[in-house]
Amino acid sequence: MAHFILLGLHFISTFVCIADTTLDLMENTPQEHEFDASDYAPRTNREPVVLIPGLLASALESRKIGDTKYDRIWVKLRRFLPPKTNEAIQILKPIYNEKTNTYHTFSGWDVRPIDYGGVDGVTVMDEHLSAWTKSFENLINALKAVGYESRKDMFGAPWDWRVSTVDQINTNGVSFLLKELVERAYNQNRKKVVLVAHSCGGPLAQQFLNTYVTEEWKAKYISQLICVNCPFGGAILPISYVMGRRRIAVPGSESILNHLTEEMGCIYWMMPNPLGYDMDEPVATMKKSGENVTLSNIYKFMKEANMTKQEIAMQHSQKAMAASTSHPGVKTTIVTSYGLKTPSLVELDDSKEGAKWWKELVTEINGDGDGTVPLQSLKVPHSWKKKDSDILNFIEYKGLDHSGPISDKNALKDFVNLFSSE
Ligand SMILES: *[C@@H]1O[C@H](CO)[C@@H](O)[C@H](O)[C@H]1NC(C)=O
Ligand SMILES: *[C@@H]1O[C@H](CO)[C@@H](O)[C@H](O)[C@H]1NC(C)=O
């Protein structure tokens, strides 16, 4: 009996921290977002839509190499139950090779996004925890209510966020598949395609449009890009995972989280970058010495903490992000929210005698933003380089959270009007 309870506790804490990670990076302070199908009526003028999710918001499935069937792993409660807990964590935790700048999955296993092209991989991560692991669920329901159908004029482009970063997508298949999918969406509907990108999906789409396809391709296939709360300047939250330990709900969760995210490319991709932060602006601060961590000196701190792989991973991502200064070359709408408490500075704990600050729990200091991404990062598109012909529109919501513009009952009605009508 005692043994069973212990196993149960271990499982619950593991799962809670995984669910909470999703929640933290997708929507730090989840608001209740209602959806009401009666707000919508069928529309005849519908542009085909491709949905590009953010970090942790693509569902994943895995199989042992040699097996024929894949089984959902992100997220499926049963896969994390003892005695399988460690196996599940091992499958999810990517391995980074800093010499080749490539990521791979634990040997013997194969992981891929669920239902590429359809919407099953971008709706919710776990059906039993839908309130906590929602990706595009409300938007998908709204689109269905106006007549959209999965794989007909509504498509999902989930991607394996564990092993993809901004500097990987053009070589690891993500851009290749996205290009094919857009062409299919166009050919099936004979209409230009709308890309809807949430969170980290925005920098991904920008990179794809600016570096993978030609001007002619964009003019032929893309109607517009809509970016919803996209961290073009990075975020502060990843610093808590990389440079310290972040505790979520359950004591002990910080070491599991630290282990899981250690070599996860997307965490380094989302570190603050020079588009959102001045090189000498503090992104973290030392509790005792008062020393500031900035983009100019951050690698010195990583060296002190022996984070060699992490430093290299971050340098690659920073380089690609810092080069992403241009308007994507298609009509672009930037939708952002602000007015919520958002982690904006991390306090690292160097106050304990003989302790290592990078192994201590961090404290986050809040500023303005959407609850997950700081406002200054969301505002980066205001300074994109653009030609006179480039169209760039802004829509802002006060008080909505990170997914609010594509989840909130009222905001959603406006959103659907951006690409469908009577
Ligand atoms: C750290 O940055 C803050 C804010 O920019 C500044 O006021 C403070 O003097 C800096 N601390 C050190 C030790 O440089
Ligand atoms: C850094 O890593 C090296 C080699 O793995 C090890 O010998 C050294 O003790 C580590 N230093 C710290 C501060 O952890």
Confidence class for position 25, pLDDT limits 50, 70, 90: very low
Omega into 163 within 30° of 0, i.e. cis? no
Residue 352 lies in a domain: yes
Which residue's alpha carbon is at the smallest distance from atom 4 of ligand 1? 282
Confidence class for position 6, pLDDT limits 50, 70, 90: very low
Distance 349 CA to ligand 2 centre (A): 20
Average pLDDT value for residue range 317-327: 95
Average pLDDT value for residue range 371-389: 97
Q: Which atom of ligand 1 is nearest to the CA of 292?
A: 1
For 190: left if phi > 0, alpha if psi spans -120 to 50, otherwise beta; the answer is left
Question: What does each C-alpha distance from 1 to 6, 10, 78, 92, 378 come to in angstroms?
Answer: 9, 14, 20, 30, 51
For 63-95, the DSSP string reads EEBTBS--EEEET-GGGGSTTSHHHHHHHHS-E
How high is the pLDDT of residue 14? 52
* Segment holding 144, helix H or strand E: helix 137-145
Question: How many domains are there within the chain?
Answer: 1
pLDDT above 70 coverage of the chain, percent? 91
How high is the pLDDT of residue 5? 40
Q: Which atom of ligand 1 is nearest to the CA of 290?
A: 13
Residue 42 lies in a domain: no
How high is the pLDDT of residue 28? 47
Q: Which atom of ligand 1 is nearest to the CA of 282?
A: 2
Name every residue whose Cβ is closer than 8 Å to that of residue 21 and which is 6 or more positions away in sequence: 56, 248, 257, 260, 261
Q: Quick check: 16 pLDDT over 70?
A: no
16 or 358, which is more confident: 358
How high is the pLDDT of residue 227? 98
How high is the pLDDT of residue 9? 45
pLDDT tens, position by position, 132-149: 778 899 999 999 999 999
Among the residue ranges 74-78, 203-207, 228-232, the one predicted with the least confidence is: 74-78
Residue 341 lies in a domain: yes
Confidence class for position 82, pLDDT limits 50, 70, 90: confident
Domain around 361:
4-16+47-417
pLDDT tens, position by position, 329-349: 999 999 999 999 999 999 999
Q: Quick check: 94 pLDDT over 50?
A: yes
**Average pLDDT score, the chain:** 90
Residue 398 lies in a domain: yes
Q: What is the CATH number of the domain that holds 316?
A: 3.40.50.1820
164 or 26, which is more confident: 164
Residue 36 lies in a domain: no
Distance 301 CA to ligand 2 centre (A): 14
For 145-180, the DSSP string reads HTT--BTTTEEE----TTS--TTTTTTSSHHHHHHH
CA distance 27 to 374: 13
In angstroms and rounded to an integer, the radius of gyration of the C-alpha atoms of the chain is 21
Ligand 1 pocket (Cβ < 6 Å) reads 282, 290-292
255 or 97, which is more confident: 97
Ligand nearest to the CA of 297: 1
How high is the pLDDT of residue 4? 39
* Residue whose CB lies within 8 A of the most ligand 1 atoms, among 292, 348, 350, 376, for a mutation test: 292
Cα angle for residues 264, 267, 273 (degrees, 5° grid): 140
Residue 33 lies in a domain: no
Distance 292 CA to ligand 1 centre (A): 6
Residue 23 lies in a domain: no
How high is the pLDDT of residue 2? 38
Distance 378 CA to ligand 1 centre (A): 24
For 18-52, the DSSP string reads HHHHHHHHH-SSPPP----GGG----SEE--EEEE
CA distance 195 to 198: 10
Ligand nearest to the CA of 345: 1
Residue 257: CB atoms within 10 Å: 21
Residue 38 lies in a domain: no
Query: Could you tell me which of 168, 167, 166, 188 has the C-alpha nearest to residue 46?
Result: 188
Average pLDDT value for residue range 228-253: 88
